Amino acid sequence: MKLRTYTNEIAVTAILVILLVVALNPTDLLMPTSVNAMLIIGFILAFFVFLALLWKETAKDERDNLHILSAGRVSFFVGTSLLTTGIVYQMLMHSIDLWLVITLISMITAKIVTRVFIDLRM
């Protein structure tokens, strides 16, 4: 595959990363409420565009399907590993963020339920 076919995915991913870095407020400048609101709206819109690009992803052959499945597996592994690391760190600090736990539970449950549903359907 040529890099040109992934231009939209790369652009939307870059926009999401930039918006998330800005949301972290790395320069310690207080963001006015209007800037914060625009940042939230921009992030939500970019995320929905990203989801739409992932949803429309189709495999052209078996090898392409394997690449898509491998990318999904690696991203799930990285996501759950980072969430687990965050939860362990926060357990050591005696302050666990509920959203990390809910997100990890949701990811694991969705993975298992989807797998069982697909296996039962076939």
Contact status, residue 27 vs residue 35, Cβ threshold 8 Å: no
DSSP 45-79: HHHHHHHHHHHT---SSHHHHHHHHHHHHHHHHHH
Quick one: how far is CA 35 from the chain centroid? 23
pTM equals: 0.73
Of 119, 120, 87, the closest CA to residue 103 belongs to 87
- State the 10-residue block means of pLDDT for the chain, 122 residues long: 71 85 71 79 90 84 89 93 95 92 94 89 84
pLDDT computed for residue 25 by the predictor? 72
47 token code pair: 């995320």
pLDDT computed for residue 2 by the predictor? 61
55 token code pair: 């949803």
